[in-house]
């Protein structure tokens, strides 16, 4: 597990190219995530948000470019070196991706068991700690995913992502499917954890309320590249898709009118 008090990590992407056959998804895309910030990734359907996340996570190799986490280029690493970098970040996926045949506690313990051998009572204690950390009741650890509400599944997945005390956290649509109250509560939990654990957070989301509540900066994928900046800078960008997304009828500013 990562040492307590580990410094937050940065993410640096340069010249990223992803294509499938003749379809070019990313063409010379650049992205910078500063240590200790919450960075949101947005873009239209088919813009390559999920492909970008998979590439950063080292789940697929780009056709060109570099992906650095904490200064190490994942595109050049293999085997044990790549696994070591992957142990430095946690991930949650849109639908939780919990193992249905395992309890919440067992799901949380799984990443720990992949890295070290600990006595059963220590594993149980660590799982209980993570369950409480994400605001779940202690008895949730003994439940199976099918016994949880959608909001509880999101929190259980977050607990598993934090199992190894990573300094870097990736979230894929963390509030998708939640009602506004549950989504706001999850956002507040995320901000609390980010401050308390000194995390760098990268999230893919389409939820504008979450973006405004949690993100220091955002990156917008348009025209196969990324435009990065603070919310104020992005709102002023004159790209048509950005204007429609932030100021159109369904945008946050549009809803306020």
Q: Please name the helix (run of DSSP H) or strand (run of DSSP E) that holds residue 42, with its range, or none.
A: strand 38-43
**Max CA pair span of the chain:** 58
Note down the domain range covering 28: 11-74+164-256
The pLDDT tens digits along the chain (257 residues) read 544 445 678 999 999 999 999 999 999 999 999 999 999 999 998 899 999 999 999 888 999 999 999 888 998 888 888 888 888 899 998 776 899 999 999 999 999 998 888 899 999 999 999 999 999 999 999 999 999 998 899 999 999 999 999 999 999 999 998 999 999 999 999 999 999 999 999 999 999 999 999 999 999 999 999 999 999 999 999 999 999 999 987 665 544 54
Q: Count of domains in the chain?
A: 1
205 in a structural domain: yes
Provide the H-helix boundaries in the chain: 49-56, 79-86, 104-113, 120-133, 150-161, 180-197, 208-214, 231-236, 240-247, 252-256
34 in a structural domain: yes
24 in a structural domain: yes
107 in a structural domain: no
Beta bridge partner(s), residue 72: 69
Distance CA 24, CA 214 (A): 31
Q: What is the pTM of this model?
A: 0.91
């Amino acid at each position: 597990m990562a040492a307590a008090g580990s410094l937050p990590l940065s993410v640096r992407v340069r010249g990223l190219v992803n294509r499938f056959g003749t379809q070019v998804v990313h063409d010379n895309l650049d992205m910078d995530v500063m240590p200790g910030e919450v960075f949101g990734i947005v873009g239209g359907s088919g813009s390559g948000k999920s492909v970008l996340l998979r590439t950063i996570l080292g789940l697929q190799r780009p056709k060109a470019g570099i992906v650095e986490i904490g200064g190490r280029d994942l595109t050049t690493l293999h085997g044990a070196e790549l696994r070591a970098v992957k142990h430095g970040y946690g991930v949650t996926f849109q639908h939780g991706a919990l193992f249905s045949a395992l309890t919440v506690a067992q799901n949380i313990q799984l990443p720990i068991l992949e890295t070290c051998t600990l006595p059963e009572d220590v594993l149980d204690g660590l799982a209980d700690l993570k369950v409480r950390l994400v605001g779940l009741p202690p008895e949730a650890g003994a439940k199976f995913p099918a016994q949880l509400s959608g909001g509880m599944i999101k929190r259980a997945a977050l607990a598993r992502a934090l199992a190894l005390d990573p300094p870097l956290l990736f979230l894929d649509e963390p509030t998708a499917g939640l009602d506004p109250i549950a989504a706001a509560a999850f956002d507040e939990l995320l901000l609390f954890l980010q401050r308390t654990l000194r995390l760098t957070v990268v999230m893919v989301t389409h939820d504008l309320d979450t973006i405004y509540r949690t993100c220091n900066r955002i990156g917008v994928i348009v025209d196969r590249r990324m435009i990065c900046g603070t919310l104020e800078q992005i709102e002023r960008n004159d790209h048509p898709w950005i204007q429609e997304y932030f100021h159109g009828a369904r945008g946050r500013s549009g809803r306020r009118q």
